[in-house]
Amino acid sequence: MKALGYSERGPVSAPNSVVEFDADMPAPGARDLLIEVRGVSVNPVDVKVRANRPPEGTRILGFDAAGVVKEVGADVTTFKPGDEVFYAGEFTRPGSNAELQAVDERLVGRKPSSLSFSEAAGMPLTSITAWEMLFDSFGIKEGDGDGEAILIIGAAGGVGSILIHLAKKLTGMTVVSSASRDETVAW
């Protein structure tokens, strides 16, 4: 199958920093879904992995993706072939920049029907980060923000955009946000 990856660490600006290559077909395990990838996103983590992790051979890049389940492992109970899904991958396995990817079902959610595959692929890591920041790190409880305010710096970025919606919808907090460029203020 076709894939995009890297064979040596370094900056994205380096020649051949990303290469197209033929990769082995993934072999799904008992808890895995074999997913036909239909949309991927690029996150800062993708650049950091490329810059800092020396691969053994050529490593498939990519973290967040959306696609269609093609096969399910023997112990999978939540999904079936044909389901549209989105997910954040994991560092210990090949990335999402390939035609197919094997992913543990516990990392996967059903793709919202209101989102395209490309739109859904942009959600997992930013959403998880915003959720963990608001509820785990800050210790804010759902529905417990009446009369409280939160300042979101860099609100036009991926995490900030999601954080605005989570805070407004789930906590009742007053949201104050900042952005530095004219085009992001409008966002």
Confidence of residue 112 (pLDDT cuts 50, 70, 90): very high
Domain ranges of the chain: 2-121, 124-186
Confidence of residue 24 (pLDDT cuts 50, 70, 90): very high
Residue 44: predicted pLDDT: 84
171 HSE (CA, 13 A, CB side): 21
Compute the average pLDDT of residues 70-84.
98
Residue 16: predicted pLDDT: 82
Q: Given CATH 3.40.50.11440, say whether it is the number of domain 124-186.
A: no
Average pLDDT over the chain reads 92
**In this predicted structure, which of 49-58, 90-99, 126-135 has the lowest mean pLDDT?**
49-58
Helices (H), ranges, the chain: 44-52, 117-121, 124-131, 158-166, 182-186
Question: What tens digit of pLDDT does each residue of 145-184 get?
Answer: 888 999 999 888 889 999 999 999 999 999 999 888 877 7
Residue 116 has pLDDT above 90, yes or no: yes
For the domain spanning 2-121, the CATH number is 3.90.180.10
* Coil, strand or helix at 154: coil
pTM, to two decimals: 0.85
Residue 187: predicted pLDDT: 63
Residue 84: predicted pLDDT: 99
Residue 147: predicted pLDDT: 86
Residue 20 has pLDDT above 70, yes or no: yes
Residue 21: predicted pLDDT: 95
* CB 152 within 8 Å of CB 167: yes
Question: What tens digit of pLDDT does each residue of 117-147 get?
Answer: 999 999 999 999 999 999 999 999 998 888 8
Residue 181: predicted pLDDT: 80
- Alpha-carbon distance of 150 to 159, in angstroms, equals 14
